[in-house]
Amino acid sequence: MPLPDQQARREDCRRAVRAHLYARPAISQTASTICRLLRLEHDFDEAEVSAACEFLVGLSHVSSSKDPLGATVYYKITTEGILAEERA
């Protein structure tokens, strides 16, 4: 049974976010930075990227941390995310 368009788009966004973070494992990035760089090849908006990041946090593929001086959230790939990307 084919996936509805919205579900397929969410999954594509999750894959793109994980691949983006996989290519830059030493850097923690905000959702807006990830979105800006993904826009070179995709048309995801910041809300979609942020939701994908949080979903990947739930899977332990990505970790999140808040800036100690503010509310900015940074995302970084985890070892689980690296393995998942390598096995994809």
Domains of the chain and CATH, by start: 5-87 (1.10.10.10)
pLDDT at 3: 64
Return left, alpha or beta for 32; rule: phi > 0 is left, psi -120 to 50 is alpha, else beta: alpha
50-59 pLDDT, tens digit each: 999 999 999 9
Mean pLDDT of 69-83: 96
pLDDT at 88: 84
Alpha-helix runs per DSSP H in the chain: 5-23, 31-38, 46-58, 79-87
46 has pLDDT over 80: yes
18-42 pLDDT, tens digit each: 999 999 999 999 999 999 999 989 9
